[in-house]
């Protein structure tokens, strides 16, 4: 068994703590530096792909609520929805409020082409990927066409 000096032991403990913090925060890759008097240790930590995706990755973070069929071309807040099947993902709102004949998406489809969304809803301009409708921070849903 190898013996460690007190400084080596302290350095090892600090690196392990920093590694644990990086992994538990879900970072994909972090470079950590630990400085203990007279010892500097740098370690690269890559967390497994099973951790939560970082905020920079695109796509939905929740399971889909289901699909919704649009039967005629509709315009919602300037965004065209062609006929087809759309997958809906909700975030911060129950799927039941978004889906179905009385759900939010159905209500939005029934609006006149030049009619505004009901308050507090708005179309998220410049959203990456599928169109997104939001009513506040982390509350809304995305609608992605998946077939004709």
CA distance 134 to 48: 31
Does some domain include residue 113?
yes
The DSSP 8-state label assigned to residue 51 in this structure reads S
Q: Render pLDDT for 52-78 as a digit per residue (tens, 0 to 9).
A: 333 444 556 779 999 999 999 999 999
Does some domain include residue 41?
yes
pTM of this prediction exceeds 0.75: no
Q: Which domain holds residue 42?
A: 6-46
Is omega for the bond preceding 120 within 30 degrees of 0, making it cis? yes
My answer on whether 105 and 138 are in the same domain is: yes
Provide the 3-class DSSP secondary structure of residue 16: helix
Overall domain count for the chain:
2
Q: How far is CA 73 from CA 66, 70, 89, 113, 121, in A?
A: 20, 7, 21, 11, 21
Residues of the chain scoring pLDDT < 50? 4, 9, 11-57
């Amino acid at each position: 068994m190898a013996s460690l000096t007190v400084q080596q032991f302290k350095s090892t403990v600090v690196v392990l703590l920093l590694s644990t913090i990086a992994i538990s925060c879900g970072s994909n890759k972090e470079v950590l530096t630990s400085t203990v008097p007279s010892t500097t240790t740098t370690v690269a930590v890559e967390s497994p792909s099973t951790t939560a995706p970082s905020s920079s990755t695109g796509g939905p973070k929740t399971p889909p609520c289901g699909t919704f069929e649009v039967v005629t071309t509709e315009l919602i807040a300037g965004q065209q929805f062609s006929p087809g099947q759309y997958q809906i993902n909700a975030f911060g709102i129950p799927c039941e409020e978004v889906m179905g004949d009385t759900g939010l998406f159905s209500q939005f489809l029934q609006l006149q082409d030049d009619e505004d969304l009901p308050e507090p809803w708005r179309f998220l301009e410049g959203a990456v990927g599928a169109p997104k409708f939001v009513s506040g921070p982390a509350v809304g849903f995305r609608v992605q066409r998946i077939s004709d």
